[in-house]
Structure 1
Amino acid sequence: MSQHQLSDLSDEGLRAFVGEQLERSRRRTARLADAVDTDDLIKQHSKLMSPLIWDYAHIGNQEELWLVRDVGGREPLRQDIDELYDAFMHPRADRPTLPLLGPVETRAYVEEVRDKVLDVLDHVKFDGGRELVDNGFAFGMIVQHEQQHDETMLATHQLRRGVPVLDAPPPPAGRRLAAPEVLVPGGVLEMGTSVEPWALDNERPAHAVRVAPYVIDTVPVSNGDYLQFVTGGGYQDPQWWSEAGWAQVQKASLTGPRFWEFVDGEWWQLRFGKREQLPLDEPVMHVCFYEAEAYAKWAGKRLPTEEEWEFAARFDPATGRTRRFPWGDESPGPQHANLGQRHLGPAPVGAYPAGASPLGVEQLIGDLWEWTSSDFSPYPGFRAFPYDEYSLVFFGPEYKILRGGSFATDEVVARSTFRNWDYPIRRQIFAGFRCARDPRPEELRA
């Protein structure tokens, strides 16, 4: 069952689907919290991140606000903690100083909230004429919220110091590519969506955009390729950097991607508490927008726009149709993409030929978020729903768009239309990039 088929379900079928998604997301949250001891659960591992216990209770509080109180019309369980877990009230750096619920109290609270939510789910009328519950939207919003915080909690695990506590099987092997780049002919794309039932407000509405021909990398830039930029003096030469990017290099003393180390003549990386030799065939990760932009300039290219990224991911030149995913309309399976914390890192380049677009562009979904050159702005006809603080308050040039999802992103979030955004200095997120360029005249004549 996939999200775009929800409108075809009976009320009982929709209840079963929603219940399954709620349970699946909670199992993941519990695993991430239970993997560490009490000290690590309440500790702030980086000022960039909340304590894990804050995320855990925040997940429950948002569920209470939207599903118990709003959808269900029930009495509040813990109205006294609403301000503590309001993400807009307290910066992450300050959250450890708050009188947060302890681990035992947090677990009891989120369990009580979930019991109430399941009762609401048993009685809600999905065809009651209320937009918030059409096709189970409010439940889908909360499932996505929990999965997004699970990815944030996983990023906190990456910043945590101590013995490794997470494990997963390795991703599939990569393969040699037929070509390093793909010429995209351009055309008219139906960008965004008006039909995905659980799509969030900034993905809406669908609208036509005309995209000029361009060339895009077949796969994300690899560690091996990026290493050439590092060892070639890229971080010491301002010619490759924008003014803001060079200022960030100097301010933060950047010398390479976060979690890279050069020890005894060899390059290593830290991944969830384990030091490993730098895997040259994996996509480079934990680079900020400015680093991606500088590498692209050094390579004689640029970052793709958001429109170019989505065109490469969704356009089928044989039919002129916009697909749901690069491989078609089928929801992501393990053969298509590296998603859902199935593995604890990106797969080597070329690992998912079944996930390729009709144009031959690969690994657009999963593995790692990809920086684009676009600012976060609303689509024509945008309408904030169900609250301004999800998207509206973030629109502007301070944020850059990332696309595609990472190995830590769940399939319920990883739509080809999903828009992530962050400050251009952020490096703790599971982000990398691929390059694009304008085509040469002879390429257009071929």
Structure 2
Amino acid sequence: MTETEALRERALTTLITARDRTTLLTSCVEDPDLTAQHSPLMSPLVWDLAHIGNQEEQWLLRAVGGREAMRPEIDSLYDAFEHPRAERPTLPLLPPAEARLYAAEVRGRVLDLLESTAFHGSRLTEAGFAFGMIAQHEQQHDETMLITHQLRTGPQALTAPDPKPAPLFTGPSEVLVPGGPFTMGTSDEPWALDNERPAHRREVAPFYIDTTPVSNGAYQAFIEDGGYQDERWWTAAGWAHIRKNSIHAPLFWRRDGKQWLRRRFGVTEVVPPDEPVVHVCWYEADAYARWAGRRLPTEAEWEKAARHDPAGNRSTRYPWGDADPAPEHANLGQRHLRPAPVGSYPEGESPLGVRQLIGDVWEWTASDFLPYPGFVAFPYKEYSEVFFGPEYKVLRGGSFAVDPVACRGTFRNWDYPIRRQIFSGFRTARSEAV
């Protein structure tokens, strides 16, 4: 197989995988659930469906293929910057059947285009970037739709097998990451997005980082110790936020006598103590870390822990090396609808012995979302550039809801520090004693 054939096969596979998932997420409920807004934080599922098709049409059929617009009159309806999520249900959106037909027609033309596209000649087509960008975009919206499914009330609509049980993790609670420079970001990952670029040297002082994400059981100890009632552990903004909104536990948790229950995709269950805690905001993660006498890792620390190979003195694509993620490495791709127990996936650990850096839960870091030195917006500033600033905190590593195509050791996610509906957890760090 030639390099071009391999790239075309990869593009085809990732596009099909994304569309299969989109179909699952939009066919498992009836039309009223597709058109309803289940939370003002989220779009109706039918908006996501047509938006996926519209972005694919704009970037692949129009920008790459030079084709005439199929439905130019709907472009503004599915412009995420023109219409905030809260107002999208009031728009004249395509009904479910028409949205499905539109997305399918776009995809059929895209597959024809893929057969004839040369993967060179422009930055959009180099190594199939535009096709990879659209596959990642669809998978990101699939994760968003999965969040909407978690927020919706009513009977269970999605099912998936649970992760394999893991033996109780008995390894060290933390590992030392040596100080010194390392290469952060990438300049040669062909489908990396603009905020991951360019590769640059970053100096990091030695620090300790948790071997695994913080578990539900550990987080319950923070709750039971009065963590939500003690102002000492919270930033001023965090304290004001939890008081104003009467937050006293992770989202979807409720106390039932002496135990905690949670709602997960329409099912109520006892909170499993050995899973990574999920649905906590940055303020909660930061408060827990302070309570534990620790802190959140910076983004640079997180990436060094995830990518630095001291034996080769180089940065790898993933904690386990350069190979694409496989099921034994990480909990990705919505194979499961929950995080795996802490300590799972020993084959995915880093050379330093840190586990579950990829998959399971997005991990909050201490860092604001800022551009790397030499950043250049591509192919549009609205993907990253308009979000740079102290309003957003960086999350790393992906979650069980993230597809491998949209998850790398360099991949950067960001959100407001108040957000809890996302599949967010964290691990803590501490500086090496001087």
Shorter-chain TM-score: which interval? over 0.9
- Could you report, residue by residue, the CA deviation over 1:43-65 in whole angstroms, capped at 9, with x for unpaired residues? 00000000000000000000000
Residue type of the alignment partner of 2:128: G
Q: Out of 275, 278, 289, which is 1:282 matched to?
A: 275
Q: Where does residue 149 of structure 1 map in the other structure? A: 141
Deviation at 1:366, TM superposition (A): 0.1
2:8 pairs with 1:26: no
1:215 counterpart SS class: strand
Query: Counterpart of 1:56 in structure 2: which amino acid?
Result: L
Residue 9 of structure 1 deviates from its aligned partner by 4.5
Report the alpha carbon displacement of residue 409 of structure 1 after superposing the two structures with TM.
0.3
Deviation at 1:118, TM superposition (A): 1.2
Q: Which residue of the partner structure matches residue 321 of structure 1?
A: 314
3-state secondary structure, aligned to 1:131: coil
Which 5+ residue runs of structure 2 have no aligned equivalent?
none
Match of 1:76 in 2: 69
What is the distance in 2 between the residues matched to 1:321 and 1:169? Answer: 37
1:49-128 equivalent positions in 2, closer than 5 A: 49-127=42-120
Per the alignment, in what secondary structure is the counterpart of residue 183 of structure 1?
strand
Counterpart residue type for residue 87 of structure 1: A
Q: Could you tell me which residue of structure 2 aligns to residue 343 of structure 1?
A: 336
Q: C-alpha distance in 2, partners of 1:46/1:123?
A: 42
Q: 1:177 and 1:194 mapped to 2: Cα distance?
A: 38
Q: For residues 16 and 429 of structure 2, what CA distance do their matches in structure 1 show?
A: 40
Q: Which residue is 1:5 aligned to?
A: none
**Cα offsets for 1:72-117 (capped at 9, x unmatched):** 1011110000000000001101000000000010011001101111
Q: C-alpha deviations, 1:240-290, integer Å up to 9, x for none?
A: 000010011112111110011101332111100000011000000000000
Post-superposition Cα deviations, 1:353-372, rounded to whole Å, max 9, x if no partner, equal: 11110101110000000000
Per the alignment, residue 380 of structure 1 pairs with 373
**Given the alignment, which residue of 330, 347, 360 partners 1:354?**
347
Give RMSD over aligned pairs. Answer: 1.0
Q: 1:199 to 1:9 in 2, by over 3 A?
A: farther
Per-residue CA deviations over 1:408-443 (Å, capped at 9, x if unaligned) read: 0000011000000000000000000000001224xx
TM-score by length of 2: 0.98
Counterparts of 1:182-331 in structure 2, within 5 Å, are 182-331=175-324
Unaligned ranges ≥5, structure 1: 1-7, 442-446
In 2: Cα distance, 1:392 partner to 1:328 partner = 30
Residue 183 of structure 1 deviates from its aligned partner by 1.2
Q: Given residue 217 of structure 2, which amino acid in structure 1 is its aligned partner?
A: G
Q: Could you tell me which of 161, 168, 188 is aligned with 1:169?
A: 161
Equivalent residue number for residue 405 of structure 2: 412
Tell me, in whole angstroms, the C-alpha distance in 1 between the residues paired with 2:9 and 2:391. 41
Once structures 1 and 2 are overlaid, which stretch shifts more, 90-99 or 315-324?
Answer: 315-324
Which of the residues 422, 427, 430 maps onto 1:434?
A: 427
Deviation at 1:16, TM superposition (A): 2.1
Q: Distance in 2 between matches of 1:9 and 1:268?
A: 53
Q: 2 CA distance for matches of 1:10 and 1:310?
A: 30
Count of equivalent residues: 433
TM-score (norm 1): 0.96
Moved more, 394-403 or 18-27: 18-27
| AA at the equivalent of 1:202 | N
Instruction: Tell me how far apart the structure 2 counterparts of residues 10 and 256 of structure 1 sit (CA, whole Å).
Output: 51
Residue of structure 2 in register with 1:371 after alignment? 364
Supply the distance in 1 between the matched residues of 2:349 and 2:7 (Cα, whole angstroms): 31
CA offset at residue 292 of structure 1? Answer: 0.2
Distance 1:185 1:387 in 2: 37
For 1:4-54, what per-residue CA distance to the aligned partner results, in whole angstroms no more than 9, with x for missing partners? xxxx95333322221111111100000000011111011000000000000
Aligned to 2:125, what secondary structure does the other structure show?
helix
Secondary structure of 1:270's counterpart equals strand
